[in-house]
Structure 1
Amino acid sequence: MRILVIFFLLSSIMSCENKSGATLLTSQEMKELITLDSVQLIDVRSLEAFREGHLEGAQNLVYDDEFVQKIKNLDKNKPVAVYCRTGRRSEECSKILEKAGFKKIYQLKGGLTQWEFEDELVRDTISQ
């Protein structure tokens, strides 16, 4: 059953690519994707923002002048899911990842701001 869910998830999002070539994911799609062991989850916000809160399992690779060096420790054969606060920095990072030879790049649409907004909507719906 899990394989069917993953297949459906991946096939439904393949048409949702942004300018970087990364596949844009809604927060719900990202939640499902990051449950997979093979996904490398990357938070590109500042260390301070990362320490204030981040997605479980994420590693902090700050988007700065050294970003290209930082991604050299990632496995290009495994999918990479990248996020920031609003999606702008993660889109830039996705372009860099693509240039570096990563094939499967996923980006959280709207960043953590959208993730938190959608979580709040779900909580409000459940409590009504």
Structure 2
Amino acid sequence: MAIDDLIKNAKEALPNVTPTPPDLKTQSSVHDLKSRLEWGEPALTILDVRPRELFNDSHIMGAMDFPLNELVALAKNSLESGRDIYIYGANEQETSQAAALLREAGFRAVAELKGGLAEWKAIGGSTEGAVDGSQEPGEHAYNVVSQVKHHKDTQKLNFK
């Protein structure tokens, strides 16, 4: 067997271990969302369905304010039905209700963000809002290396 054939066979036998961002799941963890954002994936939308006052105080950076009572109308007017949507509310029940409303309205790729804003903050996810802007950043807020290491240590890596 020629050396080129040996190399080709060896490459084919090796598993593809290129890390990829996690696929959209009906129930997604904050780690799934953070991985996709860190991957630089632009084709997703984050919706916060909590009351507007809570959104104004604090929300996931880049999330859109779509209060539950206006959710379907706002979504139909501004989002493609096939777009990946991560949604969170004030609690798991509100999140599930919002996701169900979007699915009933024809949105096919809706993920309920488990743990919502509280879990997002617990893993050091970026937030914005009136309350967040008035608080001093934590001791590791600007240490990107420790934030990425913490994220890597606390998530399950998705290799394909």
Normalized against structure 1, the TM-score is what?
0.72
Task: Give the alignment partner of residue 85 of structure 1, picking from 90, 94, 116.
Answer: 90
Aligned to 1:40: 45
- Partner Cα distance (1:109, 1:79) in 2: 16
How far is 1:44 from its partner?
0.4
Q: Secondary structure at the match of 1:45?
A: coil
Match for residue 101 of structure 1?
106
Structure 2: distance between partners of 1:72 and 1:4: 34
Deviation at 1:117, TM superposition (A): 3.4
CA distance in 2, matches of 1:109, 1:67: 19
**Inter-CA distance 36–87: structure 2 relative to 1 (3 Å threshold):** farther
| Alignment deviations for residues 78-127 of structure 1 (CA, whole Å, 9 cap, x no partner) | 1111012322211101101111111111111122122233449x98xx6x
Unaligned 5+ segments in structure 1 are 15-22
Pair member with larger Rg: 2
2:80 is matched with 75
- Matching residue of 1:114: 119
| Equivalent position of 2:29 in the other structure | 26
Looking at structure 1, the residues matched to 71 and 100 of structure 2 have their Cα atoms a distance apart, in angstroms, of 12
Shift of 1:24: 1.1
Q: Contact 1:45–1:63 at 8 Å: present in 2 too?
A: yes
Secondary structure of 1:40 counterpart: strand
- Kept in 1, the 8 Å contact 2:49–2:71? The answer is no
RMSD: 2.6
| 4+ residue segments displaced more than 4 Å | none
Residue in 2 that maps onto 1:62: 67
Q: What amino acid is aligned across from residue 106 of structure 1 in structure 2? A: A
The CA distance in 2 between the partners of 1:89 and 1:33, in whole Å, is 24
Query: Once the 2 structures are TM-superposed, how far is the Cα of residue 39 of structure 1 from its aligned partner?
Result: 0.6
CA contact (8 A) 1:43 1:61 kept: yes
